[in-house]
Amino acid sequence: MTSKPADPRPFKRAILKLSGEALREPGSRDNISPEIVDRIAVEIREAIDTGLELGIVVGGGNFWRGASASARGMDRATADYVGMLATVMNALAIEGALEHHGVSCIVHSAIEMKNVAEPFIRRRAEHQLETGKVVIFAAGTGNPFFSTDTTAALRASEMNADIILKATQVDGVYDSDPRKNPDAVRYETVTFQECLSKRLSVMDATAFSLCMDNHIPIVVFDLAPHGNLSHALRSQPIGTLVHGE
């Protein structure tokens, strides 16, 4: 473990990465839990009221996983496009919940679908962030073979975000899988280089390289406990901070 560096928090602009599974109640057959989405929207509204500029990238794993479908014989590119459409459904659910709580927001889709979302245009999205809108980035990068982690890293780079907040099902980065090893040790802070040398799981390789090359720190935290998202969005120490040297 390393000593804590100069913390990039408080930050002005962030990209929040939500997995599709985060929108589903564990053990439920429902793909989306309205209660969970509503809680996420409430915590986002509280943070936006402080002046935070926020972009959201959401996955689609609660509906579909392209890699899994490909492993069962489906063409990988086709399977990934189906997954991109799944992210649009999740983005619309989040948009609806945010609007219900009075948050001005807009969905940008990397795949054009005029009736439900704006096409992704970088300068327009950046201007909307500057004016206080929450921008939800859907449909991944618009290309197969790229994860939504990579989308988060790419959009963070394009939007000049100060940080990526990665909401997960664990409370940070560990030296081994805490679900398999009860003695696993959690890092409060760790460098990009340490993650590479110790093969710590943070993001996929493409996403991680983008963050490292563009000096974008990552906070990995557990979304499930009530209040955790609010703490992360309010720049309060939580989870594990992954940073440069």
Asked whether residue 190 is assigned to any structural domain, the reply reads yes
The answer to whether 18 and 40 have CB atoms below 8 angstroms apart is yes
Each residue of 113-161: pLDDT tens digit?
999 999 999 999 999 999 999 999 999 999 999 999 999 999 999 999 9
The number of folded domains in the chain is 1
Asked whether residue 37 is assigned to any structural domain, the reply reads yes
Binding residues: 17-20, 60-61, 65, 80, 141-148, 168-169, 174, 177
Spatial CB neighbours of 38, under 8 Å, sequence gap ≥ 6? 97, 100, 101
The answer to whether 192 and 243 have CB atoms below 8 angstroms apart is yes
Asked whether residue 58 is assigned to any structural domain, the reply reads yes
Percent of residues, the chain, with pLDDT higher than 70: 96
Q: Domain range holding 225?
A: 13-243
The pLDDT assigned to 9 comes to 53
The pair of three-digit structure tokens given for residue 78, joined into one six-digit string: 């086709």
CATH code of 191's domain: 3.40.1160.10
Asked whether residue 8 is assigned to any structural domain, the reply reads no
Asked whether residue 1 is assigned to any structural domain, the reply reads no
126-140, 176-190, 199-213: which has the highest mean pLDDT? Answer: 126-140
Each residue of 73-97: pLDDT tens digit?
999 999 999 999 999 999 999 999 9
Asked whether residue 126 is assigned to any structural domain, the reply reads yes
Per the prediction, the chain carries an average pLDDT of 92
The whole-number average pLDDT for the span 38-64 is 94
Asked whether residue 4 is assigned to any structural domain, the reply reads no
Binding residues for ATP: 17-20, 61, 65, 168-169, 174, 177
Asked whether residue 3 is assigned to any structural domain, the reply reads no
